[in-house]
Structure formats: C-alpha cells, structure tokens
Amino acid sequence: MMKRLSLDKRYSVLLLLSVLLIFFMSSCSEDTLPEDSEIVATVNGEEITITGLREFIGYDNLENITNEEEREALEDLIRLTILAQESENSLVTENPEIRERIKLAEKRIKANALLAKIIHDIDLTENEMFNYYQIHKSRYEGEVTEYRIQRILLSGTNMADSVSTMINSGEITFAEAARRYSQERTRETDGFAGYQTPEEMGAIIWNVISNLNQWRFSRVSVSNGIYLIRYTDTRERTIERPFTEVIEEVRDEMLQERKNDEIVRFMEELIGRSEIIISR
C-alpha cells in the first residue's frame, strides 16, 4: 500500500534535515570547498589527499593550526585509515547494522551537501531587513533602568557653592532650593524632571548619576550653567531597541527563516514527485 507523507511527518523530516544542515555548514561551505588533490600519504595503496586531511581537521580549525598540529592530525588520519581498512579486511562491515549505519551516514552527507547548495545564494537587502524589523519590533525589546531626576540649574560656580552649602547644612531642602533658585521650569515641580533613561539624560549626566547613591547630589557643568542633580527613585522599563543596534540579529533571524522556507519548499516539491511506499 502506498501512502503520502502527512504534513506533520514532512515537517519532522525537514526539522531533521535542518539540524543536519547546521552540522554540515559548520564544517564546510561552498566558499571553502578545496580543489587540491595533492597526495600527502599513501596507506596500503589508499591515497590520502590534502583535501581529505583538511576535511578531517575541519575547515574552521585551519586558520590557527600549526605545522606540528597538522602533522599530528595526519598521523591520526593514517591510524583511522588503517583501522577502517582492517575493518573491511576482517569483514566487520558485513554486519547488517554496520552496513546500515554506513548507508545512513552517506545519505546524510549527500542530503546536506544538496541543501547547502540550495540555500547558498540567499541574500538580504537592508530595506527587507528594516521592514522585517518594523513588523517584529517586539522581538527586539530590551530592559533599561530609568532614574527619577531632580535638579537645580544655577548660573555659575559661586551660586552652586552657596546653594550646596545651604542644602548640606539643612538650612533648606533640595526641593526648596529648586523652587527658589533654579533657572529652569522644573522649579515649578520642585526640580523633578521625570524618569529618564541614559540616552535621554546624556552621557555626562549619566556618568554622574550612575555613580551616586540615592538622594545624594552632585554638580554637573552644562552649556547654560551648573546643575545640582540627584536621583530619588529608579524603575525598569521595556524599550524598543533601534534598528541600527539590532541589524545583525535581524539579519541572522531573517536568513534562518529564508533558509527554512527554501528547504520546506524544496522538500515539498521533492516529496510531491516521489513515490513513497510505507510498508509498516
């Protein structure tokens, strides 16, 4: 009796192939496939090429490998070759289970080589990535600490010294000093300027605030005077991270989705034109 693969089974197959593909892509890509057939050793008539040695070492490791390590890897490959040859000679590979393992390993290599070729040329434009970011902004949110800022803007050093002395001596409170002396409109709210993120308060003020203890104040020189500034509370807020900050994350997610979509499409096409007979 012939049965079509159900949709669930198809996607299970695709998931398995995707996992295998990750393994394959981590060790080899079309950009790094070598064409060097130089023979580096011969073992009982079987040739070992530089390509085979590189495959054995792994292409990710080639950049940093020393000559000594490469020689050790070749010696290991020679030992592996001798063992494989002896396995053939002693008919170990005639065991049905071993034969099936060999066949399965060969299928995996062939399948993943094909899938790697299918998805190799997928590319993305910045416009596509930005549109994806706009649709999926919630994926790129981050937590930020906000400080409730209270400040007093004063005209210069002498005034800052005088007001600081009055606050420190207990002659007036920080809020009273803000109402009486501050030269900006926050004096109407006792100097409170609301909760602010590091970006909103700017690098100079952030460096001061982040090193202060709660309720303690310090002074910061700004273009129009000197601030006496402190924070009275903190809270965590979820914010959207800008596209420029997350562009590489967007690229990675989009590429993975595109690759998965292409694998699904390709596999559905192959399954659709394949004769599949399930006997149990």
The pLDDT tens digits of the residues spanning 207-226 come to 999 999 999 999 999 988 99
Fold category of 139-240 in CATH: Chitinase A; domain 3 (3.10.50)
Helix (H) / strand (E) containing 230: strand 225-240
Task: Determine the Cα–Cα distance for residues 210 and 197; give it in Å rounded to an integer.
Answer: 11
Residues sharing a CB contact under 8 Å with residue 38, sequence separation 6 or more, in sequence order: 49, 50
pLDDT digits (tens, 9 = 90+) for 223-255: 889 999 999 999 998 888 889 989 999 999 999
Averaged pLDDT, 252-272: 91
In 3-state terms, what secondary structure has residue 128?
A: helix
pLDDT at residue 29 tops 70: no
> What's residue 256's pLDDT?
92
Phi-psi region of 29 (alpha: psi -120 to 50; beta: other; left: phi over 0): beta
Give how far Cα 214 sits from Cα of 22, 141, 231, 239, 244, Å: 50, 27, 6, 24, 33
Residue ranges, comma separated, of all CATH 3.10.50.40 domains in the chain are: 139-240
Using pLDDT thresholds of 50, 70 and 90, give the confidence band for residue 13.
very low
> What's residue 35's pLDDT?
53
Give how far Cα 4 sits from Cα of 7, 11, 14, 83, 269, Å: 9, 13, 15, 42, 13
Averaged pLDDT, 107-114: 90
Q: What is the CA radius of gyration of the chain?
A: 34
> What's residue 19's pLDDT?
47
Averaged pLDDT, 140-167: 93
pLDDT digits (tens, 9 = 90+) for 51-68: 999 989 988 888 888 999
Is this model's pTM higher than 0.85 or not? no
